[in-house]
Amino acid sequence: MLKKLQIKKHALTAISYMLPLVVASGLLIAIGNLTGGTVIENYKESFSIPSALVSLGVLGMGLLAPVISAAIAYSIADRPGIAPGLLMGLIANAIGAGFLGGMLGGFIVGFFVLFLKNHLKVPKWAEGLMPMMIIPLISSVVVGLLMFFVLGLPIVWATDGLTSFLTNMQGSMKFVFGAILGGMAAFDFGGPVNKVASLFADGLLLEGIYEPEAVKILASMVPPFGVTISWILAKALRKKRYTKKEEDNIKIAFPMGVCMITEGVIPIAAVDLLRVVTSCTLGAAVGGGLSMMWNVGSPVPSGGMFIVPAMTHPLLFTLALLIGSTVTGVMLFLWKKEPVENQDFSLDEEEEEMDLSGIKIS
């Protein structure tokens, strides 16, 4: 169990290091494409600012596998793991193993570096060279050759197979895939299940498959939008569904949802976990399935409503988001019970009831 938790910790570290690079690179590509830029083929010839932005974003995307690998190796083995981790990511890029190769290379080289740190013995005079030369060199040679000659080909097969399967999906298969991914992304409001779905979608982005990213973005916004719709319905039809405190939380959750921050729903879900989680998951599944079926793609992995214009079918994305949020909102409105407001006793009332006549000061 501890090993499993440690592996999850290392993977989440990689996500936290990777996301800023993914977001910056994706936005650069989107801004450049929207302003008429293309990837620069020859840097010795003249090129425009939009093309420079697109090319910078593409270069940034090319760093994702090395960053993933280095972050995982650093999380496992600290600084001696950074250089070998970067090299394993570069190998993953070179052999076409993508993010799967980067992750696997990061884990293998990280644990190997940790093994060397704990078990490799050198003369006293060479101890200072261990973290900066001996360990990085040995681990890079051993795991690098392993990546090139043993592990590389199966990873490439797996990556190509997954890419081909997702690219060739049609109709109901696309809907089911989008529904599963959307449900996972919304299930725990930014928790571990959401992180698994996010990592999967971000990895596919590296392979040029943009549709899962749109599903991830949509599913992250459905919970706050859906809860807000249920509150609006309750107000319009004069049915009480939320306490005053929950209504105040909804007013905060909605603008957070516009920015693709799902965590604003957590205080509302904590009060009525089953109904809120079920409604949000089902709404995100419906919206994610529609988004996938309609081939909506996003070159940018984060940004909420602000990056919708950069998507391949922004109007269809908005429609899928509205349908998914409405499903969540209607379910919550019909399913939730009328709350009982907690009675708050003021400090003055408490003071009036206190009898201080028996207190004597000697």
Question: What is the full per-residue pLDDT of the chain (362 aa) written as tens digits?
Answer: 445 557 778 877 887 788 788 778 877 877 887 788 888 888 888 889 988 998 998 888 888 889 989 999 999 998 999 999 999 999 988 888 777 788 889 999 999 999 999 888 888 888 788 888 899 999 999 999 999 998 888 888 877 776 677 767 767 788 998 999 999 889 887 776 777 788 788 778 877 788 999 999 999 999 999 999 999 999 999 888 888 888 888 998 898 888 888 888 888 888 888 899 999 999 999 999 999 999 999 988 777 898 898 899 999 999 999 999 999 999 999 988 887 655 444 434 444 444 545 555 54
Residue 307 lies in a domain: yes
| 237 shares a domain with 155 | no
| 276 shares a domain with 185 | yes
Residue 294 lies in a domain: yes
Pair of tokens at residue 55: 């090319």
d(CA 67, CA 76): 14
- In angstroms, the Cα distances linking 145 to 87, 97, 141, 197, 322 are 11, 15, 6, 31, 50
Query: Domain tally for the chain?
Result: 2
| 219 shares a domain with 162 | no
| 141 shares a domain with 193 | no
Contact (CB, 8 A) for 281 and 194 = no
Please tell me the predicted confidence (pLDDT) of residue 355. 52
d(CA 330, CA 337): 13
Please tell me the predicted confidence (pLDDT) of residue 357. 54
**What pTM value is reported for the model?**
0.67
d(CA 243, CA 260): 25
| 219 shares a domain with 146 | no
| 209 shares a domain with 241 | yes
Residue 276 lies in a domain: yes
Domain limits for position 12 = 2-167
- Dihedral of CA atoms 95, 155, 183, 164 in degrees, nearest 10, equals 70
